[in-house]
A and B are shown apart, each in its own frame.
Chain A
């Protein structure tokens, strides 16, 4: 049973556009929701994370929106750039065990110049 569902599987956006990736979780014990960015040949890098006591967190061009009642969260990349082209993973875990994460299937983002 997949506990974190991520969509879309792939996404193509024009430079300057907004990229939106969505995730839904099932386990209400999750209370830590990070997003990771992975370039080919590299390990996932923590991009931004949110905890359920806030509905939105913004860091530069990256924003997480969180809907606790719907058990959904999303990543918005504003003014998308070709350098943002990568695979993005959402994940969920409990704050007391942040390293034991359940990951979504990933979204391959391509930003066209």
Chain B
């Protein structure tokens, strides 16, 4: 298994500002994933972050809005840029871990409210 921590756990931000969310894993992992979960909704994959390469974004998500860094095998950041109230969501970091075939683990999430 993998233990994942995220910072901050929650934040209230002004429209037009940016917030960077940090994700730390207790073991080295190749792939890290960022998901968004809007209130009462399911999870939607934003992007996949592989160490040493550019993140791969899913349809509907772009790097200018959600830049991602992956400086090493245990850490990643997601920035939500130029925020609007529609960005109010829970942002979740996730990893594949264990021995192949891998299993997926999630962090506790960052609850973002944009006013």
Interface size on B, residues (CB 8 A): 25
A16-B4 Cα distance, complex, nearest whole Å: 33
Give the residues from 27 to 81 in chain B that come closer than 8 angstroms, CB to CB, to chain A: 31-33, 41-45, 48
B96's contact among A44, A91, A98, by CB below 8 Å, is which?
A98
Give the residues from 67 to 115 in chain B that come closer than 8 angstroms, CB to CB, to chain A: 92, 94-96, 100-109, 111
Q: How far is the CB of B107 from chain A (nearest CB, A)?
A: 5
Cβ contacts under 8 Å, B101 to chain A: 32, 51, 95-96, 98
Given A98-B96, A99-B48, A99-B96, also A46-B103 (CB < 8 A)? yes
Find out whether the CB atom of A103 lies under 8 angstroms from the CB atom of B31. Answer: no
Find out whether the CB atom of B33 lies under 8 angstroms from the CB atom of A99. Answer: yes
Q: How far is the CB of A100 from chain B (nearest CB, A)?
A: 6
Cβ contacts under 8 Å, B32 to chain A: 99
Given A34-B103, A34-B104, A42-B109, also A99-B42 (CB < 8 A)? no
Cβ contacts under 8 Å, B103 to chain A: 34, 46, 49, 98
Give 23 A-B contacts (CB < 8 Å), ordered by A residue. A32-B101, A41-B109, A41-B111, A43-B4, A43-B109, A45-B106, A51-B101, A89-B42, A89-B43, A93-B104, A95-B100, A95-B101, A95-B102, A99-B33, A99-B48, A99-B95, A99-B104, A100-B33, A100-B48, A101-B43, A101-B45, A101-B104, A105-B41
Binding site for A on B (CB under 8 A): 4, 31-33, 41-45, 48, 92, 94-96, 100-109, 111
Given A101-B45, A101-B104, A105-B42; 5 other pairs, CB 8 A cutoff: A43-B107, A43-B109, A44-B106, A46-B104, A51-B101
8 smallest CB-CB distances across A and B, nearest first, come from A43-B106, A95-B101, A99-B96, A98-B102, A103-B43, A99-B33, A103-B42, A43-B108
